[in-house]
Structure 1
Amino acid sequence: MFNQHIRITALAGNDDVKRQLVKSGIIPIIVSVLTRHSSNPTSVALTLKCIAALALREPEHSVQFIESGAAEAIVECLKVHQENPQVQKNGCWAIRNIVARRRDLNTKFHELGIESILNRSYELFSKDFGFDIKSALRDLECNVKLDEQWTGKGIQLEH
């Protein structure tokens, strides 16, 4: 099963192949795998990575994921595996890619209490992948303080 996750994720890197996978009906299958194997952190992490890949830059895929129950499954897996960094990181990517081009889908995640779950993840993993968590929170339109990566010193350049 793990090899299939890896292959699907690799294939989904190609936009044409990704669209064909979705046309073939893979989204409900992926959500079903996530739900069925929600107690297995390795399976969950790999499935979340598949969701992230399939939703990337594809707003219609995001809608299909939500309609197939992905939001509920993702949030539940993030709750079950709060201490697992790979699950948390891949969950952030999946959420971000689902909502990045379809902000109207934020509502579903908010109804499920995603903000407090991601804030808890930030408390645990901010040093490891805090940027990914903050990016998900930002795209969910939550209050988030983004760090300035670089600030100038106000020095004038001579012409």
Structure 2
Amino acid sequence: MTITALAGNDDVKRRLVQSGVAPIVVALLNLHMSNASTAAIILKCIAALVLREPTHSEQMFASGAPDAILECMNSHADNCAVQKNGCWAIRNMVARCREQNAKFHELGAEAILNNAYGRFEKEFGFDIKAALRDLECDVKLDEQWTGKGVQMEQ
């Protein structure tokens, strides 16, 4: 939880990852995967550490994060926090590192995310669709606003 809070500052986040925290975080996720609450917190930490940082994503990837994230999401398919934070972790990892998509696809990420969408569409469907989009999966994005029926004054 503390690392997630610290990762809100980009300079601190960079120093954390430079100090070697990526393999430690992945190891913690593997170690505590059976506890949904702890797993959700660690997934949120991964999402925060890799946000807008391709080199951080590459370090998480090299540390085995895709396997751990998806195994955790499979293990806790009914847990809203695990699914939401897992979606964020996936999306943030691949958003600027599309070369990682193949590994996520190989591990079944699309099916896991679609399963999460079926269960949690109302709670965070937009986040799931964002992860699917960044994984370059087929996803139907809803048009939030069309502008119909509104006249602009000149």
Q: List aligned pairs for 1:81-100, cutoff 5 A.
A: 81-100=76-95
User: Does 1:42 pair with 2:37?
Assistant: yes
The residue that corresponds to 1:15 in the other structure is 10
Partner of 2:24 in structure 1? 29
* Distance in 2 of aligned mates of 1:112 and 1:120: 14
The structural deviation recorded for 1:45 is 0.2
RMSD between superposed Cα atoms in Å? 0.9
Q: State the Cα distance separating 1:152 from its structure 2 match.
A: 1.5
Tell me, in whole angstroms, the C-alpha distance in 2 between the residues paired with 1:155 and 1:43.
48
- 2:13 maps to amino acid: K
Give the SS at the match of 1:153: coil
Picking from 108, 112, 118, the partner of 1:117 is 112
Mark the runs of 5 or more structure 1 residues left unpaired by the alignment. 1-5
Q: In the alignment, what sits opposite 1:152?
A: 147
SS in 1 for 2:122: helix
Shift of residue 157, structure 1, vs aligned partner: 3.4
2:122 matched residue in structure 1: 127
SS at match of 2:61: helix
**CA distance in 2 between partners of 1:8 and 1:155 (Å):** 46
Q: Does 1:141 align with 2:136?
A: yes
User: Aligned-pair distance for 1:158?
Assistant: 4.5
Number of positions where the alignment pairs a residue of Structure 1 with one of Structure 2 = 154
Between the aligned partners of 1:155 and 1:78, the Cα distance in structure 2 is 43
User: Which stretches in structure 2 are left out of the alignment for 5+ residues?
Assistant: none
Question: 1:4-37: per-residue Cα shift (whole Å, max 9, x none)?
Answer: xx11000000011001001111000000000011
Show structure 1 runs of 4+ deviating over 3 A.
Answer: 154-158
User: Once the two structures are superposed, what CA deviation does each residue of 1:102-139 show, in whole Å capped at 9, x if it has no partner?
Assistant: 11111110000100000000000001100000000000
Following superposition, the deviation at residue 155 of structure 1 comes to 5.1
For normalisation by structure 2, the TM-score amounts to: 0.97
- Secondary structure in 2 matching 1:150: coil
The one-letter code of the counterpart of 1:45 is A
Percent identity, aligned pairs only, is 66
